[in-house]
Amino acid sequence: MENNAYKHIKAIPIKTKYIRRNEDFVPEVINSLKREMKNGLKIENGDFIVLSEKFVATSENNFVDEKNAKPKFWAYFCYYWSKYLWGYVLGPILKTRKDRVKNLRKMPKKETLKHKQVVIDNVGLIYALKPASEGGVDLTNVPGTYAALLPKNPKKSAERLYNAIKDELNLDVAVMIIDTDATYKFFKWYITALPYAMDGIISKVGALGYIIGKLGGLLNVGGLCGATPLTVVGNEIYKKYTMDELLYIANLADTSQVPFTKSIHDIMKKYNTFEITEDVLSELEHTPIVLIKDSERSKNNQ
């Protein structure tokens, strides 16, 4: 979503250690911000602190072990639905990326059945009907056979972080939590296939959100906006932004994070393992925090 109109908005990714399950994310954010500020990073009132949902979900231990899933009828239905209907009919019609269509056609049965069952059990059938990234249930950068669910209460988590930053750093920022799964525009409406999103984005519609979003692009009445803000709280400067601007910020933050998932097979080879463990993840570079600075808004906010 490149747009010269937004060239005044800049993203600065901030490194953290790998946060482990049940480890509070708030102190890690505070310590990481303090370190960067000591090294010269200027954070001002009205800046955005954007967090990856995985960072928060891992802290909450909001994981499910897929090896324990016992696939039932609807998991089998969703497997065949995804492999054949999405792989050979809906995917090509809706112009789903060619590499994703290929992956759908050769998806492994055993693992997919377990994954679909986990999605059905934890989010619902209407999300399992989506071909991938179903309901925010995420398999990337999680240890072993676990799947990460979305944060339990992103607004509450964001407010807790906002208050900690205000108390410990004396800064009044806006805090946003985002998910890589997309929001789309359809005419004047914004829609996502996620089970929830920030106010102003239609959610809770499952795979239908993805279909409508793709149709918006095909019919030239909308299309892909990018990563989805699950919540935004704190400094009320965010209320001065349009939805398009907030979605631009979310997507800019998402694309600014370290994309080490692209080389996950190289990582497995390096560590001579078939399974990504917490120890392996802890040795990788992580930037789940992104500072967003808006030179135009900050001038107006002074």
Supply the mean pLDDT for the chain: 91
- Identify whether 300 is part of a domain: no
Q: 166 near 172, Cβ under 8 Å?
A: yes
pLDDT value, residue 3: 64
Same domain flag for 91 and 191: no
Q: Over 90: is that where the pLDDT of 143 sits?
A: no
pLDDT value, residue 285: 84
- Count of alpha carbons within 13 angstroms of residue 115, beta-carbon side: 27
Give the number of other CB atoms < 10 A from CB of residue 100: 15
Single residue among 116, 148, 180 that ends a domain in this structure: 148
- The tens digit of pLDDT for each residue in 230-268 reads 999 999 999 999 999 999 999 999 999 876 544 455 565
pLDDT value, residue 139: 85
Distance CA 265, CA 282 (A): 16
Alpha helices in the chain (DSSP H): 25-38, 53-59, 73-80, 91-93, 98-105, 109-122, 125-128, 154-169, 207-218, 243-256, 264-270, 278-282, 295-301
Single residue among 148, 182, 204 that ends a domain in this structure: 148
By percentage, how much of the chain surpasses pLDDT 90?
A: 80
Average pLDDT over residues 94-100: 90
Which residues are paired to 233 by β-bridges? 175
Average pLDDT over residues 137-151: 90
Same domain flag for 125 and 160: no
Q: How many domains does the chain have?
A: 2
pLDDT value, residue 242: 95
**Buried-exposed string 105-120: b where 16+ CB fall within 10 A, e elsewhere:** eebeeeebbbbbbbbb
Question: Whole domain around residue 21: which residue ranges?
Answer: 4-62+150-292
Single residue among 83, 116, 148 that ends a domain in this structure: 148
- The tens digit of pLDDT for each residue in 35-73 reads 999 999 999 999 999 999 999 999 999 999 999 999 999
Same domain flag for 214 and 92: no
Same domain flag for 133 and 81: yes
Same domain flag for 169 and 87: no
Same domain flag for 164 and 126: no
Q: 50 near 292, Cβ under 8 Å?
A: yes
- The tens digit of pLDDT for each residue in 13-25 reads 999 999 999 999 9
Same domain flag for 131 and 185: no
Same domain flag for 190 and 266: yes
Q: Over 60: is that where the pLDDT of 300 sits?
A: no
How large is the C-alpha radius of gyration of the chain?
19
**Which among 72, 105, 77, 76 is positioned nearest to 90, based on CA atoms?**
105
Higher pLDDT, 116 or 282: 116
- Identify whether 298 is part of a domain: no
Same domain flag for 162 and 252: yes
Same domain flag for 166 and 58: yes
- Identify whether 301 is part of a domain: no
Q: Over 90: is that where the pLDDT of 222 sits?
A: yes
Read off the pTM: 0.92
Q: Over 80: is that where the pLDDT of 216 sits?
A: yes
pLDDT value, residue 277: 80
The residue with tokens 């809906």 is 90
Same domain flag for 81 and 158: no
Position 281 confidence tier, pLDDT thresholds 50, 70, 90: confident
Element (H, E) at 182: strand 174-186
- Identify whether 281 is part of a domain: yes
User: What is the dihedral angle through the alpha carbons of 203, 205, 207, 209, rounded to the nearest 10 degrees?
Assistant: -50
Same domain flag for 220 and 160: yes
Position 118 confidence tier, pLDDT thresholds 50, 70, 90: very high
pLDDT value, residue 141: 80
- Identify whether 302 is part of a domain: no
Residue 199 amino acid letter:
D
- Identify whether 269 is part of a domain: yes
